[in-house]
Structure 1
């Protein structure tokens, strides 16, 4: 990090040969638009092998692409008195049951109405490690995933919870409804996840550039057209369960990103619920474990599959 911004760099490989540098960089992060990248090129923030280039410069294999990403202008995040289902709270940690449709923290397109806005109204203090936009946020779940998420009220708690996540001692179990009938009772998907090279807003199993990701699953109940499963995460990659289940031919019911049949079902988003969360209390060491039942829309979906009325 410099005063001008964060320095990021990549090396072009054979598959990148001939690609425009602006398109190459726009595909590296989901929130980097091609227009933003082109403005960085005009500001001489982008260099290829140390040289300033134009936006239409076409890459060659082996070239180093470097960009100085300007510091984000962080807007003021205001408290909002939104409904909040608290399942555990003390002076260090708060655990809430997030509803489907709520974004965890402010981001482009979601400046308000987020879990962070609700937490700021509910709590006197939140840890500052996550910055202005993510106070207290230790981990995330997708907007259209419901269920348990924990936040830290101070930096001491934040560091402890983050270390537990890194060491895989936090237990995170999800209930998911997936397409098709899984024939075996349990299994493990061990496949690295990275940005989808063809769709920059998606993730994918990426053996070359992905990060290690492990999901264990167990069948709860089978239906003729779907399977209800329980998933336990060893890692916490973006869209991990959604990507892993799609990779084995069983995308989540209602998933608007990873399933082509999502419009066929009466649920707004993927049928995924963070049902159980377990961690060691940062101050006392006591094991804290909380559960949350499936939301009504997902229960109705399961009942529909049981009755085959969908």
Structure 2
């Protein structure tokens, strides 16, 4: 098993502490990979256990030799194409604000082949800042693929650095509306609970003591039989923060099956994504210093789901 150009070859003896672990799990822990990536390497034949190609469920023994050839990482690239349903709410020489539909990622990433905000802007001829990693240039905030609403992107280098700092300093006002199952008690509150990657599921997060500090403020706008409409403001901007925090309260976003929502209710209101929308974005303009505020109406799928909940008796 020889390593080609850009590949990394590793040979590691299995320590006592990993005795009895699955090959993919042991590989992930020894090389600092995700469990998914380790499983892929085993399945693609890039891993040997004592000179033989193992099954990923095979168990390792202390002193066994694990060999792994790790291919050079794939690079995400920007595909310039205008995205149906995406609108540019505002732009000037420094910033562009978009209203992002569901099913669109903020920027390209390895493994995501769908549309992106960055790709839409490129397709629309909007030049954005070159600051940041190549596939994330100009990105100062992100919204989940399954979350719709307002997002700002930097066009100038100055705007990128100023807005990045503003998000770090928590001076940007981000307001979301979410329809959650049941009725949070108290109906107004703050969730201060650290968030970390889920130990067993890639692409999922959880409340854990060793996570990053995460603070969510919520207030109930409407209470209905099966669900409550909340207005939510974030102090921190962790991945999946609102979804994780509401799930931890046992009031997951309606339709958010990944975080424990009721599939029967999701089907009843016609949702195949979480009811979560970025309705308001406000910040000091990075050049003029003037306050700018933007609003976004609910998209049709969320509006329909809310109507069904309002009409339930």
Name the TM tier (shorter chain).
0.7 to 0.9
Deviates more, 1:118-127 or 1:68-77: 68-77
Deviation at 1:99, TM superposition (A): 0.6
**TM-score, normalization by structure 2:** 0.79
Give, in angstroms, the shift of residue 41 of structure 1: 8.1
CA distance in 2, matches of 1:58, 1:245: 41
The correspondence for 1:274, drawn from 278, 289, 299, is: 278
- Residue of structure 2 aligned with 1:190, choices 189, 192, 199: 192
In structure 2, the residue matched to 1:34 is 39
SS of aligned partner of 2:74: coil
Number of matched pairs:
282
Q: What SS class does the counterpart of residue 258 from structure 2 fall into?
A: coil
* Counterpart for residue 213 of structure 2: 212
SS at match of 1:257: helix
| Structure-2 residue corresponding to 1:223 | 224
Superposition pairs of residues 1-310 of structure 1, within 5 angstroms:
19=21, 22-23=24-25, 25=28, 29=34, 32-36=37-41, 72-83=73-84, 84-208=86-210, 210-262=211-263, 263-264=266-267, 265-308=269-312
The CA RMSD over aligned residues, in Å, is 3.2
Q: Is the 8 A contact 2:195 2:208 kept in 1?
A: yes
Check whether the contact 1:193–1:213 (CA below 8 A) recurs between aligned residues.
yes
8 Å CA contact 1:127, 1:158 repeated in 2? yes
**Secondary structure of 1:164's aligned partner:** helix
In structure 2, the residue corresponding to 1:176 is in which secondary structure? strand
Secondary structure of 2:287's match? Answer: coil
In structure 2, the CA distance between the partners of 1:17 and 1:155, relative to structure 1 (3 Å rule), is: farther
Structure 2 CA distance, aligned partners of 1:31 and 1:155? 36
Contact 1:216 1:232 in 2 (8 A): yes
Supply the distance in 1 between the matched residues of 2:258 and 2:39 (Cα, whole angstroms): 21
Residue 166 of structure 1 deviates from its aligned partner by 0.7
